[in-house]
Amino acid sequence: MGYKVVVCGATGNVGREMLNILAERQFPVDEITALASRRSLGTDVSFGDKTLKTKDLETFDFTGWDIAFFAIGSDATKKYAPIAAKAGCIVIDNSSLYRYDADVPLVVPEVNPEAVDGYAKKNIIANPNCSTAQMVVALKPLHDRARIKRVVVSTYQSVSGTGKEAIDELWDQTKGMYVPGQEREPKVYTKQIAFNVIPHIDVFMDSGETKEEWKMVAETKKIVDPMIKVTATCVRVPVFVGHSEAINIEFEDFLDEDEARDILRQAPGVLVVDKREDGGYVTPVECVGDFATFVSRIRQDSTIDNGLNIWVVSDNLRKGAALNAVQIAETLVERVLKKR
């Protein structure tokens, strides 16, 4: 049995990736439609070996459709997601709009698949922030074994997390460093991104942290355990695709690095590449296009009683966004829709 599926924001980076992954993973689709804003109306997008022409989100009738993937940002989602949900179409939303709503499940299927069961309160399921998604995939199996008390994470986030204009800005600024007359001033970012790092993602809050850092804290608590203390520093780096994270973990109980390595090797969605030799770790270049969350540099932290350090890398357009959304839909089908 197949499903009638809608992808909203199908011309954006994440929307296109959603279509690719739905086709790659052979999600049971009977019918699929691609929606976009009027300025992108009629644009061709690919779904496997098919080409779809985008339709107008503003006038689309969601009645009779089963699942809608939203990749259109919070403002548009605020307008259209309730319309889809009210029409009986289950919304899987990639924006931050519903993540902190107590009546909306926030789901990473490897971590809290049972949470999808709560979708019916609003007919909406939220997809977490890209940096949170890959982190909790690595944290959850370790937490199940030794109970995490505190996490200190520093992120190295690629420009694709901001969108196509950011990718173009990095490309153009990099060229401009070598080609006289093609220099490019920052427009997307507050400072030059080429050959630089920017410790600023999203807006600043009164606490001094940025909204991206706050998201990692709030979402980890909602997805994994409200008792975990999290502090984050989120940094934009001159990488096109792939987010990296240096994570320091303090546990309630001692966890040996060898046991941690074994636990992570068996964990769903995780691929351990951890050799103590040149190149025995994963960088963003290697993770692009892959479904896995890669973990490397697993080692004891000798400065605290029960500490570990790990390095986590993932394709942010996939596990951080489109892949996780499709996995939510797969979980929804398996746990809920098949039983109707």
Annotated binding site: 11-14, 39-40, 99, 157, 160-161, 236, 316
DSSP class of 172: H
Binding residue positions for phosphate: 99
- CA-CA distance, 177 to 238, in Å (whole number)? 14
Binding residue positions for NADP(+): 11-14, 39-40, 160-161, 316
Are 225 and 261 in contact by the 8 Å Cβ rule? The answer is no
Burial class (CB in 10 A: 0-12, 13-18, 19+), 161: buried
Catalytic residue among 89, 143, 243, 287: 243
Within 8 A by CB and 6+ apart from 151, the residues are 135, 139, 220, 228, 229, 230, 231, 247, 248, 249, 250
Binding residue positions for substrate: 157, 236
- CA-CA distance, 204 to 281, in Å (whole number)? 33
Q: Which amino acid is at 22?
A: L
Q: Is 243 part of the annotated catalytic residue set?
A: yes
- CA-CA distance, 271 to 262, in Å (whole number)? 11
* Helix, strand or coil, per DSSP, at residue 288: coil
- CA-CA distance, 76 to 95, in Å (whole number)? 10
Catalytic residue among 8, 130, 234, 287: 130
DSSP class of 289: T
Got the DSSP string for 108-142? -TTT-GGGGGGGGGTTEEEPPPHHHHHHHHHHHHH
Q: Is 8 part of the annotated catalytic residue set?
A: no
Active site members: 130, 243
